[in-house]
Amino acid sequence: MDKMPGWADAVLVPLISLLLAAILSALVIIGIGEDPVAAFKLMVDGALMRSSGWGYTLYYATNFIFTGLAVAVAFHARLFNIGGEGQAMIGGLGVALACLYIPWPNWYVALAGATVSAAIFGALWALIPAYLQAKRGSHIVITTIMFNFIAAALLNYVLVNLLRPQGAMDPATARFPEATQLPTFQDMFSTAETAMFRGAPANVTFFLAIAMCFVVWLLIWRTKLGYEIRAFGHSESAAKYAGISPVKITIVAMLISGGLAGMMALNTTMGEAERLVMNATEGAGFIGIAVALMGRSHPLGVLLAALLFGFLYQGGAELALWTNIPRELIVVIQALVILFTGALDNMVRMPLEKLFLASRRKA
Amino acid sequence: MTLMTKLYGAAAALAMTAGAAVAEPALIFDLGGKFDKSFNEAAFNGAVRWAEETGESFREIELQSEAQREQALRRFAENGNNPIVMTGFAFGNVLSEVAPDYPDTKFAIIDMVVDSPNVRSVVFNEHEGSYLVGMMAAMASESGTVGFIGGMDIPLIRKFACGYAQGVKAVNPDATVVSNMTGTTPAAWNDPVKGSELTKAQISQGADVVYAAAGGTGVGVLQTAADENILSIGVDSNQNYLHPGQVLTSMMKRVDNAVYDAMKAGTDLETGINVMGIANGGIGYALDEHNESLVSAEMKAAVDEASAKIASGELAVHDYMSDDSCPALSF
C-alpha cells in the first residue's frame, strides 16, 4: 500500500500545519509591531494556566465538539453539512421552548428534556436539505448554507415578535427558570476554601459532549447503521449494490448530524446565557467544519481539535484584553489555523507522503 | 490550581501591562466596534480626552462574542481595573450578575439602569435633545413634512422619535412626521445602505428634513440627504462636519462626557442613577461653522428659549419609555 504510517497521518500532518500557521501568525504580529513570544505566552497563560481560563477553553471546546461531531458524521456518508450554524440556532430555539414552557422539577431532568428537544429541532432543520439531496439531487452544500440564513431570519422573527419579554430591548427570551439552570464547573469543583473555575461558563454539557464522542464512535464503527454510512460514503454504487438505500442513509446521516449540531445550543443557551440570545451560536457551526477536517472525522480527533480551537478562542480573548492587537487581527490568526489545518491539509500531506514513500523505497 | 501557578499567572499579566497604574480604568465597547462615527466612538473620544489630560492610560476591548461580555467584566475586575465603563444596554443583564461579585470595583454602564451599590447607571434624556432638533426641523422645513429614521426598533429609539415629533408639533401643529426603523436586530445599527433607501422613500413622501438616530446606519442617511439636496440631522456625536452646509444640526448625546466623568472620578465614582439632560450639559444640539448658515437667528432664539425652559423644568417633554406611548407619534 502506498500510504504513510497512521501516526504520521494523524499526528504529524496536523502538527506541521499548526506550526506553519503559528509561524505565519508570528509574522503578522511582528508586522504590527507586537512581540509574538509575549503574545503566545499571554495566550497560554490566559487559556491554560488558570482554572477560569480552562473554564472558558472548555466552554468553547464544548461547542466545537458538538458541531465537529455533526460535520464528522455527515462526512462519513460523504455529505458536506455546512448548515451546523443554522441547525444549532434552531436547536437553541428547541432548548428555549423546552426550558420556558415545561415546568421541570430539577436540572438533570431538564437537561435530558432539553437535549431531546434541541436534537429534534436541529435534526428537523437538517431534514429538508437531506430530503432535497436524497430525492431531488439538490446539492447539500448549497441547501444547508441557504438554510443557515433562513434559520437566522426565523430566529430573528421569533425572538423579536414572539419570545421577547414585554418592554425588553434585547432581542432575547426571558431568563430560564431556576430549575433549568445547569451546574457550572464552578459549582461542581469549588471547595469551601478555593473557588475553582470562577465565573467561567464551562458547565455540565462538557461531559455530555464527551459522552457524545463515545456514542458517535460506537455508532460509526460498532453498529450496522454506522457500517452502512461508511460504505455509502466510500462508494454510493457499491453500497447500492449491497442493498443499502442511498435515500435512507442520506436522510439518517443528516438527521444525526443536525441533531448533534442542535445539541450544541445546550451549552451556550442553557449552560451559559440561561436565555436564548440572537447570536448564541457565535460561528461554532462553521468552526465545526475545520474541527472535523482536522480531527479526520474521528471522535477522538474531533475532541482534540475542539480543545485546540477552544484554546485559540480563549487565548484570542486574552490577547484582546491585554494587548493592543486589534480584534480583526485575532480573527486573522484564528483563520490562519483554520486555513492550514482544514483547507490546506493536502499541502502538507502530499509532500510528507512522498517523503515517507521515498524513504521506504530506499530502505 | 496551586497558589504558585496563580501567582505566576498574575505576575505574567502584570508583566504585560508593565508601568500601568494600579487602578487603571477600563472601557468595554459593544459588538458594534469602537469606530462607528457615533455612539461607541463618542465613548472612545471621552476616554482619549481623559488620557490626554491626565497622562494616564486605560484598558479597552472590542467584544467578539456574547460570552466575552461577562469574561471581559470579570477579567478587568480581577486585574484591578477601576472603574470599568461599558457602552450599551446589552450589558445590563450580565452586569447585574457580575457587579455584586466585585464589591470593591466601580462600574459605569451607559444607556441602561442596573441596580447595584457599586454601579453608576448613566442614562440620557434623549427626548429633550430630540425635541430641540425637532423644533429646528419644523422651522427649516418648507414642505411641512419631516422624517425620522431610527436604528433598531427598541423603546430607546422610540424615545428619540417621540421627542422629535413633539418638537416638530410644537412649532407646526399641522406638520407630518414620517417615521421608519431600520430593523429589529442589532444589525440595524450598521446598515448604511438601508438607511439610504429609507431616506429616499421619505423624500418621495415629501420629507425635506430627516433626523437619523441609527448609529452607523445614519452615515447612509446623511449621505443620501446631501445627495438629494435636503437637510439632515445627525446624532450622538457632532456630525455636522460630514456634509458641511447640508446637515442642519446634530443632536448631541454627550457619551464622551459620561465616559470622561467616570474615568476622572476614578475609584471615587459616585454610584446610582446619573441622568444626563439639557440641564447638566449631557444633551444638546450642535452649532458650529459647518451649519451656522442654516440656523437662522429666529431658529436659534426659539430653540434656546425651549432649552432654558426644559432645563428649568417649565417645559416637560414626554418620555416614551416612561409609559411606552407617545402623544405626538404613533408607531
Find the residue in A nearest to B75 (Cα): A321
Residues A13-23 pLDDT 10s: 888 888 998 89
Fold assignment, B127-252+281-323: Rossmann fold (3.40.50)
C-alpha cell at B241: 462636519
* Dihedral pair phi/psi, residue B162, rounded to 5°: -70, -45
Find the residue in A nearest to B157 (Cα): A169
Instruction: Give the CA count within 13 Å in the CB-facing half-sphere of A80.
Output: 11
- Our separate counts of H helices and E strands in chain B read 11, 12
Is B185's Cβ below 8 Å from some Cβ in A? yes
Instruction: Decide: helix, strand or coil at residue B57.
Output: coil
Phi-psi domain of B309 (left: phi exceeds 0; alpha: psi -120 through 50; beta: other):
alpha
Residues whose CB falls within 8 Å of the CB of residue A345, separated by 6 or more in sequence, listed in order:
A13, A17, A293, A294
Q: Model confidence at A215, in pLDDT bands (50, 70, 90)? A: very high
Q: Most B CBs within 10 Å: which of A60, A89, A321, as the mutation test of the B interface?
A: A321
* Dihedral pair phi/psi, residue A11, rounded to 5°: -110, -50
Domain ranges of chain B: 3-125+259-264, 127-252+281-323
Which residue has cell 485559540? A312
Count other Cβ atoms within 10 Å, centred on residue B102: 18
Mean pLDDT of A245-266: 96
Residue type at B239? Q
Helix (H) or strand (E) holding B253: strand B247-253
Identify the residue with better confidence: A134 or A342.
Answer: A134
Mean pLDDT of B7-34: 62
Which residue has cell 448625546? B253
Is B156's Cβ below 8 Å from some Cβ in A? yes
pLDDT for position B35: 81
Greatest mean pLDDT range, B82-96, B221-235, B259-273, B314-328:
B221-235
For the cut 90, the answer to whether the pLDDT of residue B302 exceeds it is yes
Is A59's Cβ below 8 Å from some Cβ in B? yes
Work out the percent of chain B whose per-residue pLDDT is above 70.
93
Residue A252 CA: distances (Å) to CA of A100, A148, A278: 29, 20, 29
Distance (Å) from the alpha carbon of A294 to chain B's nearest alpha carbon: 24
Compute the Cα dihedral for A82, A117, A102, A147 and give only its sign.
positive
Q: How far is it, in rounded angstroms, from Cα A84 to Cα A260? A: 9
Residues B218-230 pLDDT 10s: 999 999 999 999 9
Task: Name residues 276-305 of chain A within 8 A of B (Cβ).
Answer: 277-280, 282-283
Mean pLDDT of A198-202: 85
Is B301's Cβ below 8 Å from some Cβ in A? no
Find the residue in B nearest to A278 (Cα): B185
Is B57's Cβ below 8 Å from some Cβ in A? no
For the cut 70, the answer to whether the pLDDT of residue B18 exceeds it is no
Identify the residue with better confidence: A289 or B186.
Answer: A289
User: In terms of Cα–Cα distance, which of A219, A199, A181 is closest to A70?
Assistant: A219
pLDDT for position B207: 96
Select the residue of B66, B74, B155 nearest A273 (Cβ to Cβ).
B66
Whole-model pTM: value is 0.83
Mean pLDDT of B35-58: 90
Report CB contact under 8 Å: A322, B16: yes
Q: Which residues of B touch A330 (CB under 8 A)?
A: 64
Is B71's Cβ below 8 Å from some Cβ in A? yes
Least confident of A72-76, B32-36, B157-161: B32-36
Q: Most B CBs within 10 Å: which of A43, A45, A64, A157, as the mutation test of the B interface?
A: A45
C-alpha cell at A123: 435534526
For the cut 70, the answer to whether the pLDDT of residue B10 exceeds it is no
Task: Name residues 236-295 of chain B within 8 A of A (Cβ).
Answer: none
Domain ranges of chain A: 65-294
User: In terms of Cα–Cα distance, which of A242, A219, A266, A239 is closest to A94?
Assistant: A266
Residues whose CB falls within 8 Å of the CB of residue B81, separated by 6 or more in sequence, listed in order:
B23, B24, B25, B26, B59, B105
What is the total residue count of chain A? 363
Report CB contact under 8 Å: B65, A42: no
Instruction: Give the CA count within 13 Å in the CB-facing half-sphere of B54.
Output: 18
Find the residue in B nearest to A329 (Cα): B64
Q: How far is it, in rounded angstroms, from Cα A37 to Cα B186? A: 37
Task: Name residues 308-347 of chain A within 8 A of B (Cβ).
Answer: 316-318, 320-323, 326-327, 330-331
Report CB contact under 8 Å: A199, B6: no
Identify the residue with better confidence: A138 or A294.
Answer: A138
Identify the residue with better confidence: A273 or A120.
Answer: A120
Select the residue of B16, B101, B154 nearest A169 (Cβ to Cβ).
B154
Least confident of A90-94, A158-162, B4-8, B290-294: B4-8
Least confident of A62-66, A107-111, A160-164, A215-219: A160-164
Q: What is the 3-state secondary structure (H, E, C) of chain A?
A: CCCCCHHHHHHHHHHHHHHHHHHHHHHHHHHCCCCHHHHHHHHHHHHHCCHHHHHHHHHHHHHHHHHHHHHHHHHHCCCCCCCHHHHHHHHHHHHHHHHHHCCCCCHHHHHHHHHHHHHHHHHHHHHHHHHHHHHHCCCHHHHHHHHHHHHHHHHHHHHHHHHCCCCCCCCCCCCCCHHHCCCEHHHHHCCCCCCCCCCCCCECHHHHHHHHHHHHHHHHHHCHHHHHHHHHHHCHHHHHHCCCCHHHHHHHHHHHHHHHHHHHHHHHHHHHHCCCCCCCCCCHHHHHHHHHHHCCCCHHHHHHHHHHHHHHHHHHHHHHHHCCCCHHHHHHHHHHHHHHHHHCHHHHHHHHHHHHHHHHHHC
Q: How far is it, in rounded angstroms, from Cα B293 to Cα B202? A: 25
Report CB contact under 8 Å: A49, B98: no
State chain A's maximal CA–CA distance in angstroms. Answer: 76
pLDDT for position A62: 96
Q: Most B CBs within 10 Å: which of A40, A50, A52, A274, as the mutation test of the B interface?
A: A50
Least confident of A288-292, B136-140, B187-191: B187-191
Residues A335-357 pLDDT 10s: 888 888 777 777 888 888 888 88
* CATH tag, B3-125+259-264: 3.40.50.2300
Work out the percent of chain B whose per-residue pLDDT is above 90.
67
pLDDT for position B19: 40
Q: Would you call the peptide bond into A177 cis, given omega within 30 degrees of 0 as the criterion?
A: no
Greatest mean pLDDT range, A344-348, B28-32, B136-140, B154-158:
B136-140
Domain B3-125+259-264 and domain B127-252+281-323 have a common topology? yes
pLDDT for position B14: 44
Residue B108 CA: distances (Å) to CA of A185, B80, B92, B120: 29, 15, 11, 5
Distance in angstroms between the alpha carbons of the first and the last residue of chain B: 56
Instruction: Decide: helix, strand or coil at residue B26.
Output: strand
Report CB contact under 8 Å: B184, A59: no
Q: Is the ipTM of this complex over 0.85?
A: no
Least confident of A214-223, B254-263, B317-326: B317-326
For chain B, give the mean pLDDT.
Answer: 88
Q: Which residues of A touch B71 (CB under 8 A)?
A: 56, 199, 317
Q: What angle do CA B1, B4, B8 make, to 5 degrees?
A: 105
Q: Which residues of B touch A326 (CB under 8 A)?
A: 62
Identify the residue with better confidence: A123 or B152.
Answer: A123
Residue type at A67? T
Report CB contact under 8 Å: B155, A167: yes
Residues A77-87 pLDDT 10s: 999 999 999 99
Least confident of A121-125, B51-55, B61-65: B61-65
Is A242's Cβ below 8 Å from some Cβ in B? no
Is A164's Cβ below 8 Å from some Cβ in B? no
For the cut 90, the answer to whether the pLDDT of residue B25 exceeds it is yes
Residues A2-15 pLDDT 10s: 577 777 777 888 88
Q: How far is it, in rounded angstroms, from Cα A80 to Cα A150? A: 18
Paired sense of beta strands B283-285 and B247-253, if any: antiparallel
Mean pLDDT of B296-313: 93
Q: Which residues of B touch A156 (CB under 8 A)?
A: 184-185
Q: How far is it, in rounded angstroms, from Cα B297 to Cα B39? A: 30
pLDDT for position A161: 83
Report CB contact under 8 Å: B9, A323: no
Burial tier of A347 (Cβ tally within 10 Å: 0-12, 13-18, 19+) = middle
Task: Name residues 259-278 of chain A within 8 A of B (Cβ).
Answer: 268, 272-273, 275, 277-278
Q: How far is it, in rounded angstroms, from Cα B119 to Cα B93? A: 13
Select the residue of A45, A275, A283 nearest B9 (Cβ to Cβ).
A45
Give the single-character DSSP code of B267: G
For chain A, give the mean pLDDT.
Answer: 90
pLDDT for position A349: 83
For the cut 70, the answer to whether the pLDDT of residue A51 exceeds it is yes
C-alpha cell at B313: 423644568
Greatest mean pLDDT range, A157-161, A246-250, B19-23:
A246-250
pLDDT for position A2: 59
Select the residue of B1, B62, B67 nearest A50 (Cβ to Cβ).
B1
Task: Name residues 15-44 of chain B within 8 A of A (Cβ).
Answer: 16-17
Q: How far is it, in rounded angstroms, from Cα A271 to Cα A265? A: 9
Q: How far is it, in rounded angstroms, from Cα B45 to Cα B37? A: 10
Report CB contact under 8 Å: A50, B93: no
Give the single-character DSSP code of B318: P
pLDDT for position B146: 96
Q: Which residues of A touch B74 (CB under 8 A)?
A: 52, 198-199
Least confident of A123-137, A322-336, B85-99, B111-125: A322-336
For the cut 60, the answer to whether the pLDDT of residue B159 exceeds it is yes
